[in-house]
Structure 1
Amino acid sequence: MFRKSIRQKIVGIAAGLIVLAVITSLLSMIMAGQVGHLLGELTSRYIPAYAHLARVNVRSLERSLAMRRMMMAKTQGPVEDETYAAARKTFDEINPIINQEADAARKLIVAIINDPSTPSDNAALGRIDDRIDNALNDLLPRLNTENQTLLDELDAKDFVSARKTMARAEGLRDDFNSRIEGIRADMLAQVSSSAKTVMSAQQHAIMISAAVTAIAAVLGFVFAMLVGSGITGPVMRLLEGTREVEAGRLDGSITITTQDEIGQLSAAFNRMIETLRHNQRIRETFGRYINPRIAEGLLDQPAIAATEGQRRVMTVVFCDMKGFTTLSEGVTPRGLVKIMNLYLSTMSEPIHAHRGIIDKYIGDAIMAYWGAPFVEETEQTHLASLAAIDMIGRVTQLRKELPELLGVRAIPTDCDIRIGIATGEALVGSIGSEFMMSYTVLGDTVNLASRLEGANKFYGSRCLISEATAAGCSDTIELREIDRLVVVGQSQPQTVFDILGKKDELTEAQTELRRNYAEGLAAYRERRWDEAEQALAAALAAVPDDGPSIALKARVEGFRQTPPPADWDGARHLEHK
């Protein structure tokens, strides 16, 4: 019964609020329609009528000015005949316009009077209409008669009589304008009155809407209190349980004290907590073997596991430990595990910090990638380059920590890292068999990143990136073109670069190195061996241990002794991985 009562009360609240909302909407629509109707009359009748009367006044003044010009032109003789003709044309054109504007104003005023749907001062409007009629049918004809007499006297060159007639016409014109101005003033008062009526109607509509809304709020509050008085206790327990879950504490559960909807909700909440505990255990387990973001995606969206893969632009990074074989010689298995854990942890942190996904560890190699849906396509090359800079920066610290970890004084001096980065289209998705799946990336881009990592050993470099990667991060990363390279498995050369640092953060020596290396590389490609050797020597003077400069200088010396064939394109072909 209690469960049924709750449902009935909730339905009653909803029905009452719906009825009140409908009433409010209908009242708002009706009152908005009334306000709109009043506003329409104001904008389409009152204001245009006033504008017509204003133009009557203006046209009357223009006609008087044209008359004065004709008078002046006639008194000055034949030389002003053109001026007289132009003024006469203006004078003749204005007279019918005055009547048209006045008639238009009268029609609008009559329309206002005849419209019973809007409130208006019909008596005052009727007086305005009569005054316009008197001005048009009494005063204006007399003024036109005097104007015509004046024109006849001007044509007869009777200037003495014309001046007298001009004075009488000016008096009539002033009287006409005075009447029109009075009519305009009264019409403006009617416009203001209509505007006040519109504002009053609008305020009335707002007040009624506010009152109905307030009534709906009060009734809704009363009904809500009635229903809430019977379910507050269970709901508070649910709220407390929710706060515990929000804080990450999933050990508790809610005591079920009722059999109504709240009791069912409490039971469902307990089942949800159990499911969350189970998922948390799975996440904690998966998070140590695959990236947590991928694990969460697989748990939250199980359909992702069945995807056939998508082709997306991705940036792939391979990182390998140089000198690992030498370092691992003579180390116990336990010590080797310590080395691997320290090295992988040190190099994985920058990848995580820059939102990369670690795909797998392959011995001492790390494969990671950036791309949708984990980062935007436009920022993936920038993030991967920053991660590479950070990884290289941690080599010095790694060399200090390894001896302490192994309990030795020093480690081999060639302990370093090699990084390869490539950007391009790759197949992304859950790939594997019915027994085991892996969310990974495949394709030529992955192979190229792996080949570039291995190519570092031929150049004595730490990080080589593909041309597409360089194009994507050149605005934020300082780069140096290294060579045109054909890696194993490809037939076309592509330009490779290495990363010098963040934008505008190069040292003077790095800047000098890049400039001289570029000059040496250009001379090398044009077979100018002496110039190439000089430029590379200058590069090594700036940074004596620069691997790419040493490697390119050795190739120059080799080509000096054994020149390349005539069809040599300057690219280096790697025959080994």
Structure 2
Amino acid sequence: MDLLSKTDGRRDEPAPRVSRPISVKIFGIALALLALMAIVSGLSQRNLRQVKNEVEALAEYYIPLSHLVSQMEIDVRSQIIHLERLILLQQFQQVDTAALKQEKSLYDEKGKNVDEEVAAALKLVAEAAVSATAQFDKLELARLEPQIRDVQRAHHHLQASVLDFLSEVKHGNPQAVHVLHKVIVEERQNFDSEIQGVRRQLQKFTEGAAVRAKGLEQEALRLNWSLTIVAGVLGLLIASVLTRNLVKPISQLLQGTRSVEQGDLDIQIRVTSADEIAALTESFNRMVTELKQKELIKETFGKYVDPRIVKGLLEDQQFSKEGEKRIVTVFFSDLEGFTSICEGLTPGGVVRVLNQYFTLMSEPIRDCGGIIDKYIGDAIMAFWGPPFTSEREHPALACYAALEQFAKLEQFRLMLPDIMGLRRGLPRINVRIGLATGEVTVGNIGSEYSKGYTVIGDTVNLASRLETANKQYGTNLLISEETWRMAKDAVETRELDCIRVVGKAEPIRVFELLAKKAQAAPAVLELRDRFEESLKAYRRRDWTQAESGFQGCLAVNPNDAPSKLFLSRLNHLREHPPAADWDGAWSLSEK
């Protein structure tokens, strides 16, 4: 029977009593695994000891002996070379006594080395004979001792013949020299024969060690395969037990969790055991039921309130506390001329246009982490700030949303014919956006019967005033000085003016939002730079330079509305000069 089923509306049964705890099952499995590990460890240790002993035999005896025998041969050949040099030096008319002495010293030194190497080899053979751990045929190795002694005797005979030979050479006895030279040749051949015999014997021992190592390797391989098969069989048995008693219920629970993750909240898991997993399964079923209820609430109210606010209200009530002060960025956008558009539409047509407009324009706000506060006629109010976005990022995110919203306006214009059912006489669609960053009061505001999570304060009013100020400047995107200060590294802007809005006595600098950083066209940046230079002249009351600068802006873009506005304002200021304490700010009369 499938352990997963859909809810049938029945009440959950009480959680079963835990009669067979998982700890008991796991303890039994652990004991079985420990026993298997102990067996494997013991057999592996035995193999390791055998391999270790074989390696020690090679490292401590065979290899050092081979090295000593090779060194003996090298030193004897070096002696022969020094002997030949001695003979050659004595044939010169003027004998180099120092050179003779040096060659004789080197000859004697090599002879001494050979004696030491023979002694070291005999000592190794003696140690191997009494070794308790080395793995080799000690009787065979013991035969090396007389062979090495034969090498020693052959070397001594060679040494004696060389001394006699040198003495006769010194006394100038050619016949004796000739005879002794033949003796030296024979003694050297005898030495080579003896040393080769030792070398062959060592090679035999080394090959024997290799054969034994190969045998140990094959034995270890057979043992490993056997243990692998045994472990595989035991593993399958343990896996079967685990699957039946432990893993299968967990798998069913995991499958249910994945179903919930994919949005299936109708899933229920049947309880088939009497352990902790059964209690966990019951808890899971209750959790799914609660999630289903919360999801229904979120789905219903998420169309009216931002889903993140609904989630917060359902989970931890973090938005039900008293209002608090926070730094946020407030966003206002308005569809220009919508009232005149509505005059030619039926109520159903107005709703269709607005719904499609709000659908398109809301996407950038949510994609950039903003909270849509409310729809006011054809206007959208939104805000960014903690806990939905970080304290430093929200001005830039709001600017990105505004730019993206403005970019989607062309898409909305293309959709208008199908929405309105018109092919000609379509209204001109434009949007104005205002952004302001500052301190607001945020919280659930309303009556006992109806509340909304919203923001209030001067910053909200300022954002609304900036949206309206677009009409006077002929712009679409205006941001406050604080927004510009916190987002200037992320966007391109143009300082537009210093204004006093209705309801605020202090002047504020306002900026036109142009594009994301490094994405503005060169002509736009050139116009921006010229305009800001002209604005500086304007604030210095240098009307002539300011006029020339704004006319230069129109040379870059003949349709730049702010430049035209300032040229008109300059004419007014020439006729009506400002007061001596004029701060360069312009007062707006429209809200």
TM-score normalised by the chain length of structure 2: 0.62
CA contact under 8 A between 2:434 and 2:465: conserved in structure 1? no
Larger relative helix fraction: 1
Deviation at 1:248, TM superposition (A): 4.8
Matches within 5 A, 1:259-274: 271-274=286-289
1:347 equivalent in structure 2: 361
| CA positional deviation for 1:346 | 1.7
Task: State how 1:207-246 maps to structure 2 within 5 Å.
Answer: 207-220=225-238
Matched, 1:275 2:275: no
Instruction: Report if the CA contact (8 A) 2:374-2:382 is conserved.
Output: yes
SS at match of 1:482: strand
Q: How does 1:505-520 map to 2 (within 5 A)?
A: 510-515=521-526, 517-518=528-529
Given that 2:368 and 2:401 are in contact with CA atoms closer than 8 Å, whether structure 1 keeps it comes out as: no
Q: Which amino acid aligns with 2:238?
A: G
CA deviations on 1:321-371 (whole Å, 9 max, x unpaired) are 26368669979999877665444322111334x452425237424435489
Aligned match for 1:361, one of 349, 374, 386: 374
Amino acid at match of 1:114: S
1:378-428 deviations in Å (ceiling 9; x for gaps): 9x8997666444322211233455687678976875732326497x9x999
| CA-CA distance at 1:18 after TM superposition | 2.4
1:214 positional shift: 3.1
The answer (yes or no) to whether the contact 1:39–1:198 under 8 Å persists in 2 is yes
The 3 A distance-change label for structure 1 pair 11 and 561 is: same
The residue identity in structure 2 corresponding to 1:23 is A
Matched to 1:358, the amino acid is I
Report the alpha carbon displacement of residue 22 of structure 1 after superposing the two structures with TM. 0.8
Q: 1:323 to 1:209 in 2, by over 3 A?
A: same
1:390 alignment partner in structure 2: 404
Distance 1:241 1:178, change over 3 A: closer
CA distance in 2, matches of 1:395, 1:362: 17
Q: Distance in 2 between matches of 1:342 and 1:322?
A: 13
AA aligned opposite 2:131: N
Is the Cα–Cα contact under 8 Å of residues 106 and 132 in structure 1 kept in the other structure? no
Cα 1:32/1:550, change in 2 over 3 Å: farther
Q: Is the 8 A contact 2:331 2:463 kept in 1?
A: yes
Q: Distance in 1 between matches of 2:550 and 2:164?
A: 106
Match of 2:35 in 1: 23
Q: For this pair of structures, how many residues does the alignment match?
A: 551
- Provide the residue aligned with 2:9 in structure 1: none
Which stretch has the larger CA shift, 242-251 or 361-370? 242-251
| Counterparts of 2:166 and 2:577, CA distance in 1 | 108
Match of 2:477 in 1: 462
> How far is the alpha carbon of 1:192 from its aligned partner?
2.5
Alignment check: 8 A CA contact 1:399 1:411 kept: no
Q: How much does 1:21 deviate?
A: 0.2
Cα RMSD over matched residues? 6.9
Shift of 1:175: 4.5
Give secondary structure in 2 for the equivalent of 1:356: coil
In 1: Cα distance, 2:50 partner to 2:325 partner: 62
The residue type equivalent to 1:33 in the other structure is Q
Could you state the TM-score of these two structures normalised by the residue count of structure 1? 0.63
Query: Alpha-carbon deviation of 1:64?
Result: 3.6
Q: Which moved more, 1:217-226 or 1:184-193?
A: 217-226
Name the counterpart of 1:476.
Answer: none
Choose which of 192, 214, 219 in structure 2 pairs with 1:196. Answer: 214
User: Any idea what the Cα deviations from partners look like across 1:552-572, whole Å, max 9, x if unmatched?
Assistant: 8889999999999xxx9xx98
User: Conserved in 2, the CA contact under 8 Å of 1:241 and 1:253?
Assistant: yes
Is the Cα–Cα contact under 8 Å of residues 321 and 417 in structure 1 kept in the other structure?
yes
Deviation digits for residues 502-525 of structure 1 (CA, Å, limit 9, x no counterpart): 977x7xxx3343346446656876
Q: How has the CA–CA distance of structure 1 residues 431 and 143 changed in structure 2, closer, same or farther, with 3 Å as cutoff?
A: farther
Look up the equivalent residue of 1:302 and give its one-letter code.
D
Which residue identity does 1:283 align to in structure 2? K
| Alignment-derived partner of residue 323 in structure 1 | 336
Q: Which amino acid aligns with 2:303?
A: R
In structure 2, which of residues 131, 142, 145 is the aligned counterpart of residue 114 of structure 1? 131
Question: Is 1:67–1:88's contact at 8 Å kept on the other side of the alignment?
Answer: no
Give the 3 Å change call, closer, same or farther, for CA 449–173 of structure 1 in structure 2.
farther
CA distance in structure 1 between the aligned counterparts of 2:185 and 2:566, rounded to whole angstroms: 106
CA separation of 1:189 and 1:544: change in aligned 2, threshold 3 A: farther
Distance 1:534 1:573, change over 3 A: closer
Query: How far apart are 1:188 and its partner, in Å?
Result: 3.6
Letter in 1 for 2:363: E
**Mapped partners of 2:118, 2:310: distance in 1:** 80
Contact 2:507 2:585 in 1 (8 A): no
SS at match of 2:303: coil
Distance between the aligned counterparts of 1:362 and 1:121, measured in 2?
95
Amino acid of the structure 2 residue aligned with 1:182: R
> 1:193 offset after TM fit, Å?
3.7
**The 10-residue stretch of structure 1 (60-69 or 277-286) with the greater mean CA deviation from structure 2:** 60-69
Contact residue 466 and residue 497 of structure 1 kept, 8 A? no
Give the Cα–Cα distance (whole angstroms) in 1 for the partners of residues 172 and 554 of structure 2. 107
Q: Is the 8 A contact 2:370 2:384 kept in 1?
A: yes
Q: Distance in 2 between matches of 1:83 and 1:559?
A: 118
- In structure 2, C-alpha distance between the alignment counterparts of 1:494 and 1:149, rounded to whole Å: 116
Matched, 1:186 2:204: yes
Q: Which amino acid aligns with 1:17?
A: I
Question: How far is 1:225 from its partner?
Answer: 8.8
**Distance in 2 (alpha carbons) for counterparts of 1:295 and 1:439:** 10
Distance 1:96 1:556, change over 3 A: farther
Instruction: Give ranges in structure 1 of 5+ residues lacking alignment.
Output: 474-478
Pairing 1:365-384 to 2, within 5 Å after superposition: 365-369=380-384
Alpha-carbon distance in structure 2 between the residues aligned to 1:105 and 1:446: 102
**Deviation at residue 462 of structure 1 after TM alignment:** 2.8
Flag the structure with larger Rg. Answer: 2
- Alpha-carbon distance in structure 2 between the residues aligned to 1:294 and 1:206: 62
SS in 2 for 1:466: helix
* CA shift in 2, pair 1:46/1:448, >3 Å: farther
Matched, 1:68 2:45: no
Aligned to 1:285: 300
CA distance in 1, matches of 2:167, 2:320: 102
- Taking the aligned partners of 1:214 and 1:467, their CA distance within structure 2 comes to 68
The one-letter code of the counterpart of 1:185 is Q
